[in-house]
Structure 1
């Protein structure tokens, strides 16, 4: 079965219900174009602001979880539900849920590497002020192929992607929200490098840009192939882009430059963090 991936770059407002309606419209558009897998942005139901994460947060099984499960089931597609603030006990996680076409939760990835940066004259943000870090590496086998999940700042940590690659990830899905400081210089580069060094496909989905927001997203959702090429990319505006991904190409790229089979297991050892 081939993958037809729908990137759903939605606008995020301060109204959760409106955010879900915008996500629904984008998912329906992707399904109408034949997508059998869809990806939403990071924090697609919530403004990207520390005070909002606990206020908009929900436990697994809550309103947004139910919405995502229902959309996957109704549209008959696999759905990586961007990310949402997930409440568990006294903690808030930045979490991506993956659903089957039957509306079953297949996987849950909690952002491992929290976005704590301070660039002089640019962006300052500390997710750790409100969010807790996850501690699992998320790879799941599906009839479409073996999918990995990561969230935004995770992409800067090559070792995380290395372990996903060692566990067989063929396509890694990354809801992300780069900003106007890091986006123009690092967005394309980071996604192309993770695809190149793991010789797999990597997809990133961002919120659309809102210049009036306190945190301005870069946009430019994209898919990169194992050669480090960009297969498709949106601009900064809301939009849906559907792209065909042929996992059969993996063998071609990997045979041409056999870095995966040439890894020195006795020299480089990966740790199981689960």
Structure 2
């Protein structure tokens, strides 16, 4: 992918939602907020993880999921992107990947209403939180195996979803592959969000020297879990350019595209990676490509 950085600006709109168990209602909510973002001048609009369905019951989740080829929600959102003539990034949707497994999949839809790129979440959120919440994404979802950088008119867009945020090597690889922007649509829990959300997003922006766009779920969901909100746009220098609150809304940011090249010239760390070896407890050295 080209390393020539654009000048000018891009208006980004991030849609913050509190999705529930009713797909039709979630679609109506998403469409209204996407229209608000487009009316506000955004050319790239991103929705959060699990835009169309927030569900923890595996049987109900599987019963409601549809394969991509016959996904009615994806069809409606694609038509919306075409109508509004925007780049619409559906942070993620549940899609049926096989008869017994699902995928947590992002879709980038072009202004023509066509799927320009897709990405399946790589890292599965399998944790037991101190407040008693238990998450086992791997019980329902098949993890992705491919990182993705898609071409936008303004530069490369690197994909990720939520828990991927805790794995910095993914973002380094995306930047090295030509990403100028990193997408982190999420449904961060309130507990982990309060502790780490802003810090991690700023760190990924600084490390990868990319703009970060992170649309989030927020609030108390029908299944009883609570998400953090605070959708963010972060500059390659680590500055928070826009931040959402805790309610469904749209946040906007005008990003100066020349900043990517400026930051990478000032601190050329993406050109300074080295291969090295690591030795632990006197055991044989292992080669690591940083």
TM-score clears 0.5:
yes
Q: Which runs of 4+ in 1 moved over 6 A?
A: none
CA distance in 1, matches of 2:222, 2:64: 20
- Are 1:143 and 2:185 matched, yes or no? no
Distance 1:122 1:231, change over 3 A: farther
Q: How many residues align?
A: 270
Question: For residue 25 of structure 1, what is the aligned residue in structure 2?
Answer: 32
Query: Deviations for 1:204-253, whole angstroms, at most 9, x for unmatched residues?
Result: 11112126642211111111111111110001111011111122101111
Q: C-alpha displacement at 1:266, in angstroms?
A: 6.9
C-alpha deviation, 1:174, in angstroms: 1.4
**1:43 paired residue number:** 50
Shift of 1:30: 0.3
- Which secondary structure does the structure 1 equivalent of 2:228 belong to? coil
* CA deviation after TM superposition for structure 1 residue 178, in Å: 0.5
- Distance, in Å, in 2 between the alignment partners of 1:266 and 1:183 is 34
Taking a change above 3 Å as real, the CA distance of residues 99 and 211 of structure 1, as seen in their structure-2 partners, is closer
SS at match of 1:170: strand
Determine if the alignment matches structure 1 residue 205 to structure 2 residue 225.
no
Match of 1:69 in 2: 78
Aligned residue runs from structure 1 range 75-154, under 5 A = 75-90=84-99, 91-154=101-164
TM-score (norm 1): 0.94
Structure number, greater radius of gyration: 2
Using structure 2 for the length normalisation, give the TM-score: 0.89
SS at match of 1:245: strand
Alpha-carbon distance, 1:84 to partner: 0.7
User: Which whole-Å CA distance do the structure 2 matches of 1:48 and 1:5 have between them?
Assistant: 28
Pick which of 209-218 and 78-87 moved more.
209-218
State the partner residue of 1:258. 268
Q: Contact 2:95–2:105 at 8 Å: present in 1 too? A: yes
CA drift of 1:89 comes to: 2.0
- Pairing partner for 1:53 from 61, 70, 75: 61
Give the root-mean-square deviation of aligned CA atoms.
1.6
Which of 22, 39, 44 is matched with 1:15 structurally? Answer: 22
5+ residue gaps, structure 2: 1-7, 278-287
Which residue of the other structure, out of 170, 176, 193, is the alignment partner of 1:183?
193
Unaligned ranges ≥5, structure 1: none
